[in-house]
Structure 1
Amino acid sequence: MHFIHGRSRHPNPVPLLLIPPFPFTNLSFRHITDIFANPNDPDVDQPFHFVMPSLPGLGFSDPLPSSVHTVSKTAEMLDTLMKQLGYRYYIASNSGSSITPKGSIDWKIINHLAASYPGSCLGVHLVSPPWKAPEARKNPVEWLKLTVAKSLKAGILGYTKEDIASLRTSDRQRAKKKDSDMTTIGAFGAYDPNTLAYALCDSPTGLLVFFLTLIRMLGSEKEFTATELVTITKLTWLPGPEGALRLWAENDILAREEAELKPSHRVKAAITVFLTDDGASQDGPDSAQKTDSLSSFSYVCPNWGKQHYDVVWTGRIQGNQGLLAWERPQIIADGARNLAKALLAVDKRLYEVERRRGRTA
């Protein structure tokens, strides 16, 4: 497993595992290391010992053999990596949208870390987690709270006025998209991952188109040069597309077999969500492009995560999330820092690596 390790030069850093958004690799995000490891004012912004791996089968990371469960094995490898680097305790964050029809791979991996390794992964920062609204049959109390809040259009019962406005806008957008889901992510979902693996192996153009479509789907506002696009594509597919598409295939199987992995106890979590832009639901010259973006697919209310996690901080961000690690990495850093702040207020174990170094010195 290939990883980037950025050690902070500041005192009292917190170990942070950052999982890049599938199918991008850590090699595309080297520029954000100092934002996390060496902030301009470490007294204000918590510094991190920063670890960012490349998922198996992407970049310089070897693909996993077909005999192993890829998502759970990847989570195990990441926990082992942090411990071998000397970080007995750490926090983890994903760095991109998890709002896809079945939830993204990096979401599945970080959820496995929280559920399976709570003794070392003390907290997680979740970007747009793919939680669903409570249903009357499965959770009548929470469903009733949501129904009342939406009916009154008020910030009550754990919902803010921003949540209610975004949920209502999201409902309208989803109704408009109902008959046009074969665009963007729907088009990829129409193919079996094995079919795509064979097709992409024989088509460098297909590999490039895959990323062009993905970037459009995520609603990126960054203007990539032709060289940047080719470089991103080449860095991602270095081992070939088979390993990456095995991750995708298993993600699809997990979505059918387990709606959500339940942690043995509620791990502390910080949650970042993006408020739906009402302007995106109006007719206009840019409406088609905005509707195609993944950010308009669904709004996830932070309140829905409280049944699975101990939510210690929530960030509601205006605007399209796009490609955060390129366009607004500070949002990821802010979520991780607020998680670390909440944890350190009640648990100093995240500083243990520095205490051990002090004793050995």
Structure 2
Amino acid sequence: MARVMAFRVAVPEGEVDCLRRRVRATRWAPDPSGTGWSRGVPTAYLRRLAEYWADGYDWRRHEAELNAHPQFTTEIDGARVHFLHVRSANPDAVPLVLLHGWPGSVADFPALIGALRDDFHLVAPSLPGFGFSGPPPGPGWTDGRTAQALNALMDRLGYAGYGVHGGDVGAFVAPLMGRDAPDRVRGVHVNALVTVPGGDDDPDALDDADRERLDALHRWQENEGAYLRVQGTSPQTLAHAHHDSPAGLLAWFAERYRDLTGTADLPDDAVGADALLTDVSVYWFTGTAGSAAHSYYERFHDRAERERDGRSPVPTAVAVFPTDHAIRPFAERAHTIVRWTEFERGGHFPALEAPDLLAADLRAFFLDEIFRRP
């Protein structure tokens, strides 16, 4: 049995001070006049957010919020895996894995944990290459390999049957956990599920709502999806900038939060400036901006994933928030969908934007439909 060791977040004060100095010393790029957000993050907005990061944001308060939950690390397949493990006082609680996405982290989950901890034993890992798990020991950490490692983690913790929830990157990994261990993964719940037409799909056969969702996906890919190509093709080039410049990392993340959240004009209007800065700080202090970007390269170049065929037998629930582009006829090629819920509030980061809706959907799916607990 590999060791499972207790862990606490404890960023040295010198590193916190160094971050603040670097932010204050930023060489700010000039803005083309009158362009607003049309060409990327405006300097005036970024500068205001960075100044708060340096002189107002309290990392220690958010570090303490993370440390309010039991945390551990263990080694699986040569990689360190960090995870929160919040056990319910209810002996009949359902084991549930919570998987974050990019540019998220386990710091996204406090509200969700608070809403679920009475009914679930919660395991929230930092994905290998992300956050407190740190960079993996080498390349080859595909979504499938990550899924196998996280099933190994649940086995190590003694869980014979459990559910898995994931959004964004987690929505790639969670279904693969089901495919890897269909006898143990009792159900999969995802949001921000990516669905694209296959060779046999006819987009013209879609109903009006799904056709509009497909058109919206194409518009998003054309106007806002450039980061996917960069991280999927040249992640190491990007890593140099993000490992050295906190303002550059902040700009990269802030644009994602603006593009992917609901109807907010500014990213911190949707999730709050502190939540955004906590995620950026986690990547900065752990040095994982580069390794997290490399996960996109692995996904783009994973032949096994491209060649995977057939439908997973694991019952799957899909939560569709307003900015999601999931299309059910395409999704049903790969997933056994038993629940499909569309929401009118929230966005790409529901654990931050609408934790009440996400928690209610998780409870309804896993407690009422999968594990059938009273």
Pick the aligned partner of 1:186 from 222, 226, 236: 226
Counterparts of 1:93-242 in structure 2 under 5 Å? 93-94=165-166, 96=167, 98=168, 105-133=169-197, 135=199, 138=200, 143=202, 147=204, 150=206, 164-171=207-214, 173=216, 177=219, 181=222, 183-187=223-227, 189-190=229-230, 192-220=234-262, 221=264, 223=269, 226-240=273-287, 241-242=289-290
Give the aligned partner of residue 125 of structure 2.
53
How big is each residue's C-alpha offset from its partner over 1:171-229, in whole Å with a ceiling of 9 and x where there is no partner? Answer: 55467x38x92x43325524621211122122111111111111112125452555544
Give the aligned partner of residue 273 of structure 1.
320
Pick the aligned partner of 1:243 from 291, 309, 325: 291
| TM-score w.r.t. length of structure 1 | 0.69
Give the aligned partner of residue 343 of structure 2.
317
Give the aligned partner of residue 149 of structure 2.
77
Which SS does the other structure have where 2:301 is aligned? Answer: helix
2:89 is matched by which residue type in structure 1? Answer: R
Give the aligned partner of residue 280 of structure 1.
none
How far, CA to CA, are the matches of 1:213 and 1:83 in structure 2? 38
Deviation at 1:60, TM superposition (A): 1.4
Which SS does the other structure have where 1:2 is aligned? Answer: strand
- Cα 1:173–1:123 shift into 2, 3 Å: closer
- Percent of paired sites with the same residue: 26
Q: Is the Cα contact below 8 Å between 1:272 and 1:316 reproduced in 2? A: yes
1:315 is matched by which residue type in structure 2? Answer: T
Which SS does the other structure have where 1:53 is aligned? Answer: strand
How far, CA to CA, are the matches of 1:90 and 1:309 in structure 2? 18
How far, CA to CA, are the matches of 2:311 and 2:349 in structure 1? 32
Deviation at 1:35, TM superposition (A): 0.7
Give the aligned partner of residue 21 of structure 2.
none
1:258 and 2:305 matched: yes
How far, CA to CA, are the matches of 2:310 and 2:275 in structure 1? 39
- Cα 1:330–1:189 shift into 2, 3 Å: same
Unmatched runs of 5 consecutive residues or more in structure 2: 1-80
Q: Is the Cα contact below 8 Å between 1:23 and 1:58 reproduced in 2? A: no
Which SS does the other structure have where 2:332 is aligned? Answer: helix
- Cα 1:232–1:80 shift into 2, 3 Å: same
Give the aligned partner of residue 342 of structure 1.
369
Higher relative contact order (CA 8 A, sep 6+): 1
Which SS does the other structure have where 2:317 is aligned? Answer: strand
Deviation at 1:324, TM superposition (A): 0.6
Unmatched runs of 5 consecutive residues or more in structure 1: 39-46, 99-104, 151-163, 276-294, 352-361
How far, CA to CA, are the matches of 2:284 and 2:178 in structure 1? 28
Which SS does the other structure have where 2:104 is aligned? Answer: coil
- Cα 1:88–1:200 shift into 2, 3 Å: same
Deviation at 1:3, TM superposition (A): 1.0
Indicate the RMSD between aligned Cα atoms, in angstroms. Answer: 2.9
Which SS does the other structure have where 1:60 is aligned? Answer: helix
Give the aligned partner of residue 22 of structure 1.
102
Give the aligned partner of residue 332 of structure 1.
358
Which SS does the other structure have where 1:234 is aligned? Answer: helix
- Cα 1:118–1:237 shift into 2, 3 Å: farther
- Cα 1:237–1:121 shift into 2, 3 Å: farther
How big is each residue's C-alpha offset from its partner over 1:288-328, in whole Å with a ceiling of 9 and x where there is no partner? Answer: xxxxxxx2xx7322243333332221212224524211111
Which SS does the other structure have where 2:195 is aligned? Answer: coil
- Cα 1:127–1:174 shift into 2, 3 Å: closer
- Cα 1:257–1:88 shift into 2, 3 Å: closer
